[in-house]
Amino acid sequence: MSTPPLSRRDLEFLLYEWIDVEALTSRPRFAEHSRETFDAVLELSSGIAAKYFASHNKTSDSNEPIVGPDGKVVTIPEIKEALDVFAGAGLFAGSFDESLGGMQLPTSVMRASMAWFQAANAGTVGYPFLTVANGNLLVAHGSDAQIDSYVRPMLEGRFFGTMCLSEPQAGSSLADITTKAVDQQDGTYRVTGTKMWISGGDHELSENIVHLVLAKIPGGQVGVKGLSLFIVPKFVLGADGIPGERNDVALVGLNHKMGNRGTTNTLLNFGDGTYQPGGRAGAIGYLVGEPHRGLSYMFHMMNEARIGVGFLATALGYAGYRQAVEYATTRTQGRALSDKNPASKPVPIIEHADVKRMLLAQKSYVEGALALGLYCSHLVDEQDTAENTEQRRRKTLLLDVLTPIAKSWPAQWCLRANDLAIQVHGGYGYTREYDVEQFYRDNRLNQIHEGTHGIQGLDLLGRKMAMEDGAGLALLIATMRSTIDRARQTGGESCTLAEQLDESVERVRVVTNTLLAARERTDALANASIYLEAVGHVVLAWIWLEQFLASDQKQGDFYDGKRQAARYFFRYELPATEPQFDLLAAQDRTTIDMAPNWF
Amino acid sequence: MSTPPLSRRDLEFLLYEWIDVEALTSRPRFAEHSRETFDAVLELSSGIAAKYFASHNKTSDSNEPIVGPDGKVVTIPEIKEALDVFAGAGLFAGSFDESLGGMQLPTSVMRASMAWFQAANAGTVGYPFLTVANGNLLVAHGSDAQIDSYVRPMLEGRFFGTMCLSEPQAGSSLADITTKAVDQQDGTYRVTGTKMWISGGDHELSENIVHLVLAKIPGGQVGVKGLSLFIVPKFVLGADGIPGERNDVALVGLNHKMGNRGTTNTLLNFGDGTYQPGGRAGAIGYLVGEPHRGLSYMFHMMNEARIGVGFLATALGYAGYRQAVEYATTRTQGRALSDKNPASKPVPIIEHADVKRMLLAQKSYVEGALALGLYCSHLVDEQDTAENTEQRRRKTLLLDVLTPIAKSWPAQWCLRANDLAIQVHGGYGYTREYDVEQFYRDNRLNQIHEGTHGIQGLDLLGRKMAMEDGAGLALLIATMRSTIDRARQTGGESCTLAEQLDESVERVRVVTNTLLAARERTDALANASIYLEAVGHVVLAWIWLEQFLASDQKQGDFYDGKRQAARYFFRYELPATEPQFDLLAAQDRTTIDMAPNWF
């Protein structure tokens, strides 16, 4: 399919007409940049994505990685070729410091750049996605030597990164991690244990793989407070920084997934003796930062990855939406309900109200999710470069609150968009001759990895809303209210939408406070997933009101479409939160009261 | 996975404690039967399904049918073996007359029997599914000679059947069918045209394939009123009834689907000259019934197939639910929120409120859908055997109204159950090492075939609710109100649920009347899909109230579970219809007003 998977026009609207990314160029960090350099990166990205990534998306899906007879992972050659082009364009280093060879681009621009690749090929983009997040963690928490040894080669695309949290017996439960790291008193540790679901955990695509591994140093506290973070490279670096002997990190097996097949997903053994450089027991690991602070460092990467997963879900939803619009515009079938003449010419199905409903829903999900993602990315730029500490602190706080929503909302609703894209295509959409069924399969992963939907709900209600005595909640409410005020001043239809949103925001405030004040934490959190979904919809309504305001008084199909999608969201989607808030306010115990043996 | 995909206990509850299928044995048609014969069929079915169908479900999925070098379709041998066992057990003929070699079992029992096979292997069951529906159509509308020639071999499992409606240029739009049938004045027709999405359209699994083809006899009316129905066998029968020379029905290609891969799905050319027995132009076809009445005959098969698709969706949802319960019971991870000791033992995840929520949702969807399906099947038994014409007529009317819901509701919500089953399994659920991802892929088809979701919405609101001056609506309302009255008399919690349902039923009544009285039919039908979903949820709430009442005063985990699932549905699901009815009552025009070029 040659339909561009994202809309350049929409990206420009969001980046320049709404967020005003150009204003960032007044900050010292971005002073070398201009709209021209931003546009050049986006143009470069969409071009490479189409030529090298989209072109092997189907091939990747039907030729998933296998383990060859020599124990090495075999991937189709197009993946390596695409990643080499990606590296050659300097895109691994896009947002990094110039001192590290980076382009020092704003995160918001780089997220938009990456979205082109995510929309083109969810599998292949997995490698740079993890590598960049890994690099960002090490820049923030690693030593200078670690940055030189590992980050620089990652930014050149020579080393790839992973994040190793989950273990077979402890998926989401990081407190139960048993991987062990023993101090050798020579600056190194010996790591032993098994890690599950490690994306990019093994392959031959890069010279080395930099595993970031959560493990316990014996003697530390039980639970997550005893976790430390280690660099465990696939190949141990020689004194010259060149990957040398094989470290004891063994591929136990590849997981065979429903979708997202281009990214290897692995079960890894650390220190099981398969490879024993120098006869040592355990894989060689290097502590990052201080002992027992591993989880907080890993959250640096996880939070970034969560926003990134939201973008991945968004990009897949967007790609499906664009194809559904294209299909509905060209496919003729049936006629208007008012047309009683069976001999009249069939119309393009985009004329049917139900097809328009399915397309409007997709538009509201994918453009809403993209806007939210870019908003959050801009918060990253602000927390990095805003003028004073207080401003930066507020941006960090708002980003913290929005992160579980920016991850889970697109994962849920852009998957729904893919579902609707299949439906618009009818029987064709269910076949592998078209792309939308793959998007649907690829996208299903996003409610699972980087913290499941349920984990995000607990994070939002149990941590983010509660933190700093409710400061996060207060800031989110104030931010949404400020848009409401602006809409009221604008008047007209904006005002009507603002009043509706104001009622929903008030429900968020009251219900959250009720739940936070609940006597029993178990009761309060029982429906945290529903809370996540309800608050998510309110946040997206706010994002749509923002887009409505950014389109105000502007003429043309594009702005008409934005306004209509906003109306759709307020009329068809936002009201669905009412019964959710009712349920939450009642602190319903139906699930708690369900005995396991009643199933 | 060895978890039984359905619950025998639940089936017994629904068939014997709720519907009272045993009472049917007082009817002459079923006089030879008893609970023992019913149970024997179910036992036989679950056994064969487990041994011969479930056993190759994954193999089928990863080895989809291909076209061999000789142009013949190659399927894995396990499919043929399973269908031979199915035929040998007499299951093709289960509900048919004894005079045709059938067992004359009630449809409700046979649907339950078939559900075991559907839950075990959605692909392989496709062949008998279509064959039985084809046979039923011919018994109702074919000549005695046609029944002898085609139905008898189908009931023996020697011939398989198809239904050929769609064409590449006219998926859902049957008015645009262009396949042509020309009268040869010798009792036969010559059929030419192309049919798309034909399940079981070609294979080597049976001695013959009996295509039922909608086509136009030149000179007839334009549109659906010009459609006639033809038997077009793959092999023309000789005078001895034995399949002889190849008819001119050519396989153009197989469709490659996301799921449901075991059933071949084909593009067929009729009369393109590939095979020309006797040098005739066109495939030989035999008119069924009278000319130009083809669509009404085909509706016989389509309505049956729609209920059957509902069962297929239900069975897949049910199978996933059972596996999710099994997984959640055995998988330990995390601990209670109230447990602050990270050294305590992890608990089975079924203890977590969010997991219980996901399991309760699945339970409410799959058990609700199964109950609705069996209720509708019982209506078939009633319309066939009730004591007087008026009673039969009322059962037919209620069945007509419920059919779009019995098809679309399970297709939507049992797919959602599969989605939740994946989520309960976490990362494992996304892998092909487990079964649930296949159920999810297989189930996605069910919103598309046998009339898309959108078509069902138009059927429900535009035809079924409107027919006979609203008699269908009135009967549905009266039926639900009679349960409400019974619940009120029962008192206690039943009464509370009844009051809630009563409000929803009243909304159905008022909103439907508003829409039927609307000046503009286009406006009224614009949100027919949402109408379908809202009314569907009310109907399912009624089905759950029925199950609640059937569990009243009964002790034990099973009944506790039924009651809690009913509570779940009333508290978490039914309230979601309120904003939907609000939207419908407002006759929202957002979708209509959306211009195609605004996308």
What pLDDT tens digit does each residue of chain A (599 aa) get?
A: 578 999 999 999 999 999 999 999 999 999 999 999 999 999 999 999 999 999 999 999 999 999 999 999 999 999 999 999 999 999 999 999 999 999 999 999 999 999 999 999 999 999 999 999 999 999 999 999 999 999 999 999 999 999 999 999 887 788 889 999 999 999 999 999 999 999 999 999 999 999 999 999 999 998 889 999 999 999 999 999 999 999 999 999 999 999 999 999 999 999 999 998 666 789 999 999 999 999 999 998 899 999 999 999 999 999 999 999 999 999 999 888 888 888 899 999 999 999 999 999 999 999 999 999 999 999 999 999 999 999 999 999 999 999 999 999 999 999 999 999 999 999 999 999 999 999 999 999 999 999 999 999 999 999 999 999 999 999 999 999 999 999 999 999 999 999 999 999 999 999 999 999 998 888 899 999 999 999 999 999 999 999 999 999 999 999 999 999 999 999 999 999 999 999 999 999 999 999 999 99
Hey, are the CB atoms on A170 and B342 less than 8 Å from each other? no
Among B548, B481, B490, smallest CA distance to B509 is for: B481
Contacts 24+ apart (CB under 8 A), B595-598: B595/A557, B595/A560, B596/A329, B596/A348, B596/A350, B596/A351, B596/A356, B597/A557, B598/A557, B598/A558, B598/A560, B598/A561, B598/A564
B171: pLDDT strictly greater than 80:
no
pLDDT band at B16 (very low <50, low <70, confident <90, very high): very high
pLDDT band at B278 (very low <50, low <70, confident <90, very high): low
Please tell me the distance from the alpha carbon of residue B576 to that of residue B515, in angstroms, as a whole number: 20
User: What pLDDT score does B274 carry?
Assistant: 93
Structure tokens belonging to residue A21? 């990314």
Place of tokens 């201009």: A34
- Start-to-end Cα distance in chain B: 45
For B197-218, how does the pLDDT look when each residue is reduced to its tens digit (9 = 90+)? Answer: 999 999 999 999 999 999 999 9
How many CA atoms within 13 Å lie on the side-chain side of A162? Answer: 30
Structure tokens belonging to residue A387? 């003028």
- Polymer length of chain B: 599
Please tell me the distance from the alpha carbon of residue A558 to that of residue A121, in angstroms, as a whole number: 27
- Start-to-end Cα distance in chain A: 45
| Residue B169: inside a domain | yes
| Residue B321: inside a domain | no
Instruction: Name the residue of chain A whose CA is nearest to B441's CA.
Output: A441
| Residue A307: inside a domain | no
DSSP-derived letter for residue A226 is: G
* Tally of CB atoms within 10 A around A416: 15
* Mutate: best of A66, A257, A591, partner B, most B CBs <10 A: A591
Please tell me the distance from the alpha carbon of residue A513 to that of residue A533, in angstroms, as a whole number: 17
| Residue B437: inside a domain | no
| Residue B128: inside a domain | no
The catalytic residue among A367, A450, A533, A573 is A450
The catalytic residue among B78, B450, B546, B573 is B450
Backbone angles phi, psi at B180, to 5 degrees: -115, 145
Instruction: Name the residue of chain A whose CA is nearest to B557's CA.
Output: A598
For B517-560, how does the pLDDT look when each residue is reduced to its tens digit (9 = 90+)? Answer: 998 888 899 999 999 999 999 999 999 999 999 999 999 999 99
| Residue A458: inside a domain | yes
| Residues of A whose CB is below 8 A from B356 | 591-592, 594, 596
- Segment 370-429 of chain B within 8 Å of chain A by CB: 419, 422-423, 426-427, 429
Instruction: Name the residue of chain B whose CA is nearest to A199's CA.
Output: B427
B1: pLDDT strictly greater than 60:
no
**E strand or H helix that includes residue B163:** strand B159-164
Q: Which residues of B168-206 are buried (b: 16+ CB within 10 A; e: fewer)?
A: eebbbbbbbbebbbbeeeeebbbbbbbbbbbbbbbbebb
Q: CA A369, A372, A374, A376 torsion: positive or negative? A: negative
Structure tokens belonging to residue A520? 């029993």
How many CA atoms within 13 Å lie on the side-chain side of B534? Answer: 26
8 Å CB contact between B173 and A330: no
Structure tokens belonging to residue B124? 């392989």
Please tell me the distance from the alpha carbon of residue B242 to that of residue B236, in angstroms, as a whole number: 8
In DSSP notation, A104-159 reads ---HHHHHHHHHHHHHH-TTTTHHHHHHHHHHHHHHHHS-HHHIIIIIHHHHTTSE
Place of tokens 């206990």: B9
- Mean pLDDT, to the nearest integer, of B38-52? 98
Residue A196 sits in which domain range?
160-292
Please tell me the distance from the alpha carbon of residue B170 to that of residue B483, in angstroms, as a whole number: 42
B353–A contact, CB cutoff 8 A: yes
User: What pLDDT score does A277 carry?
Assistant: 64
Place of tokens 């018994």: B139
- Cross-chain CB nearest to A588 (options B224, B571, B597): B571
Longest dimension (CA), chain B: 87
| Residues of A whose CB is below 8 A from B346 | 169-170, 173, 176
Please tell me the distance from the alpha carbon of residue B592 to that of residue B336, in angstroms, as a whole number: 50
B578–A contact, CB cutoff 8 A: yes
Listed in sequence order, the residues at least 6 apart from B565 whose beta carbon sits closer than 8 Å to its beta carbon are: B360, B363, B364, B367, B368, B544, B547
Number of domains in chain A: 2
| Residues of A whose CB is below 8 A from B196 | 427
Hey, are the CB atoms on B454 and A576 less than 8 Å from each other? no
pTM (whole model) above 0.95: yes
Among B589, B592, B508, smallest CA distance to A571 is for: B589
Cα dihedral value A409, A313, B530, B359, nearest 10: -70
User: What pLDDT score does B370 carry?
Assistant: 98
Question: Closest approach of chain B CAs to the CA of A209, in angstroms?
Answer: 22
- Segment 237-266 of chain B within 8 Å of chain A by CB: 255-259
- Segment 42-71 of chain A within 8 Å of chain B by CB: none
Hey, are the CB atoms on A255 and B525 less than 8 Å from each other? no
Instruction: Name the residue of chain B whose CA is nearest to A569's CA.
Output: B590
Residue that finishes a domain, picked among B246, B276, B291 = B291
Q: CA B53, B58, B59, B65 torsion: positive or negative? A: positive
Please tell me the distance from the alpha carbon of residue B34 to that of residue B25, in angstroms, as a whole number: 6
Specify burial of residue B432 (Cβ count, 10 A radius: 0-12, 13-18, 19+).
Answer: middle
Q: What is the CATH number of the domain that holds A253?
A: 2.40.110.20
8 Å CB contact between B536 and B499: no
8 Å CB contact between A246 and A234: yes
For B111-146, how does the pLDDT look when each residue is reduced to its tens digit (9 = 90+)? Answer: 999 999 999 999 999 999 999 999 999 999 999 999
Hey, are the CB atoms on A353 and B592 less than 8 Å from each other? yes
How many CA atoms within 13 Å lie on the side-chain side of A177? Answer: 31
Hey, are the CB atoms on B596 and A173 less than 8 Å from each other? no
Instruction: Name the residue of chain A whose CA is nearest to B457's CA.
Output: A354
Backbone angles phi, psi at B339, to 5 degrees: -90, 110
Q: Which residues of A485-510 are buried (b: 16+ CB within 10 A; e: fewer)?
A: eebeebeeebeebbebbbebbebbbe
| Residue B267: inside a domain | yes
8 Å CB contact between A194 and A215: no
Structure tokens belonging to residue A45? 């990205």
Instruction: Name the residue of chain A whose CA is nearest to B531's CA.
Output: A354
- When the pLDDT of each residue in chain B is averaged and rounded to a whole number, the result is 96
Beta strands at B208-216 and B159-164: parallel, antiparallel or unpaired: parallel
pLDDT band at B338 (very low <50, low <70, confident <90, very high): confident
8 Å CB contact between B327 and B252: no
Place of tokens 């092997």: A56
pLDDT band at B342 (very low <50, low <70, confident <90, very high): confident
Q: What is the CATH number of the domain that holds B549?
A: 1.20.120
B556–A contact, CB cutoff 8 A: no
* Tally of CB atoms within 10 A around B433: 13
DSSP-derived letter for residue B167 is: B
Please tell me the distance from the alpha carbon of residue A69 to that of residue B534, in angstroms, as a whole number: 55
B118 forms beta bridges with none
Instruction: Examine the residue annotation and report whether B351 is marked as an active-site residue of this protein.
Output: no
Residue that finishes a domain, picked among B267, B291, B315 = B291
Please tell me the distance from the alpha carbon of residue B135 to that of residue A77, in angstroms, as a whole number: 52
Q: What angle do CA A596, B3, B6 make, to 5 degrees?
A: 85
Hey, are the CB atoms on A599 and B561 less than 8 Å from each other? yes
| Residues of B whose CB is below 8 A from A169 | 332-333, 346
Residue that finishes a domain, picked among A292, A312, A333 = A292
Longest dimension (CA), chain A: 87
- Cross-chain CB nearest to A591 (options B360, B452, B525): B360
- Mean pLDDT, to the nearest integer, of B18-37? 97
Please tell me the distance from the alpha carbon of residue B131 to that of residue B209, in angstroms, as a whole number: 9
SS3 A271: coil
In DSSP notation, B492-533 reads THHHHHHHHHHHHHHHHHHHHHHHHT-S-HHHHHTTHHHHHH
Backbone angles phi, psi at B212, to 5 degrees: -105, 115
Residue A122 Cα distances to A117, B83, B396, angstroms:
7, 40, 50
Specify burial of residue B70 (Cβ count, 10 A radius: 0-12, 13-18, 19+).
Answer: exposed
8 Å CB contact between B208 and B235: yes
- Cross-chain CB nearest to B426 (options A338, A448, A597): A448
Please tell me the distance from the alpha carbon of residue B437 to that of residue B301, in angstroms, as a whole number: 30
Please tell me the distance from the alpha carbon of residue A420 to that of residue B388, in angstroms, as a whole number: 45
Please tell me the distance from the alpha carbon of residue B368 to that of residue B562, in angstroms, as a whole number: 10
Listed in sequence order, the residues at least 6 apart from B383 whose beta carbon sits closer than 8 Å to its beta carbon are: B392, B395, B396, B399
Cα dihedral value A71, A75, A81, A84, nearest 10: -50
8 Å CB contact between B507 and B577: yes
| Residue B303: inside a domain | no
